[in-house]
Amino acid sequence: MASSGTIAAGGGIKAPAAARVDWVDYAKGICIIMVVMMHSVLGVEHAAGETGFMHVAVAFAKPFRMPDFFLISGLFLPLVIDRDWRTYLDRKVMHFAYFYVVWVTIQFGFKAPAFAAETSWRDVGLLYLESFIEPFGTLWFIYLLPVFFVVTKLTRKIPPLAIWLIAAALETARISTGWTAIDEFCARFVYFYSGYLFAPFVFTLSDRARSHPALALAALAAWALVNAGLVATGASEWKIVSLLLGFAGACAIITTGTLLARAHWLNFFRFCGEHSIVIYLAFFLPMAATRTLLLRTGIIPDIGTVSLIVTIAGVIGALAIWQVALRLNAHFLFERPDAFWIAPKKSRPVLQAAE
């Protein structure tokens, strides 16, 4: 398999020779597991009213967990941004909008009885409608991605440096309106746009890490110490510092993914990366069920251990739900049906990665 895309003469990237890029899947796998870990650990700790050893891992990953995910999401955009609007909207908006509608409905179905017990079924209905304006639960990532794709295509005639500087300014402004879509757009767009704008440099970084593994490991060790120190002191939350840590952490995960791909180690991370959106969509159910079971029974007293088990259950459980859905022919849960395509299909990818 090709290790990376290649840099074209004009500064863009050419499509990789193989269907997938190995280190990208490793990096995405690391990211999605960190996302599940964050929701699992914080959920357990909130319900239990105490923290465990897993809290340290969640805190360490906070500066770069979502920046890396968004940067990788924008990485292959140069290959497809010139598509006609119909095809572009189909692949980059309808694709994610379909899964958002399906899975927000599923999540809401599980949570609606509890909401109704606190308020009324009328309020539950209004809350469901509001979820199409205010992203619901864990699904804000795929709610926001189509917005990023559209904004990037609409602003193509504006000098890229100007867009990047505005995006960086929005991140450092710490905008807090109370609306998730607005606040997360301001906080995350700079990373997505950087993936799009600096894709050749990202592939070059990966190639150099693959060629010089000892130097890459030394750089990772230095980064880990700096990141941990800044997190421990609270400096990771400072303006500018948070932006730099986001990019540094993204580079670290890219380097880690490259080294794992080079050594063919921990293929489970690669598998999770290949199916990252499957995990993202479905992990909430096994996560919540396992958390409730373990905390109510008290069979495991250590909160850190409970958090770790809940994290594993969230990842494995999501993949199990996917397999069960395929065997029951419930493909619509993880594959967009023909009726929801607005452009011709040359191929029929199941939950395609960012192209």
Q: What is the pLDDT along the chain (355 residues), one digit of tens a residue?
A: 334 443 332 333 444 434 578 999 999 999 999 999 999 999 999 999 999 999 999 999 999 999 999 999 999 999 999 999 999 999 999 999 999 999 999 998 888 888 888 888 888 888 899 999 999 888 999 999 999 999 999 999 999 999 999 999 999 999 999 999 999 999 999 999 999 999 999 999 999 999 999 999 999 999 999 999 999 999 999 999 999 999 999 999 999 999 999 999 999 999 999 999 999 999 999 999 999 999 999 999 999 999 999 999 999 999 999 999 999 999 999 999 999 999 887 644 444 443 3
pLDDT of residue 14: 43
148 is written with which tokens?
């990023």
Spacing of C-alpha 12 from chain mean position: 24
Instruction: Identify the three-state secondary structure at position 140.
Output: helix
220 is written with which tokens?
């990772």
What's the Rg (C-alpha) of the chain?
20
Query: Long-range CB contacts (< 8 A, 24+ apart) of 45-52?
Result: 45/303, 45/307, 47/291, 47/295, 48/295, 48/303, 48/306, 50/303, 51/303, 52/302, 52/303, 52/304, 52/305, 52/306, 52/307
- Which is it for the CA torsion 257, 261, 264, 268, positive or negative? positive
Dihedral over alpha carbons 168, 58, 65, 326 (to 10 degrees): -150
Spacing of C-alpha 328 from chain mean position: 27
Any residues with CB less than 8 A from the CB of 313 and at least 6 apart, and which? Answer: 286, 287, 289, 290
pLDDT of residue 341: 94
Q: Residue 80: which of 153, 7, 176, 170 has the closest Cα?
A: 153
> Domains of the chain: which residue ranges?
6-340
Tell me which DSSP letter residue 91 carries: I
pLDDT of residue 19: 56
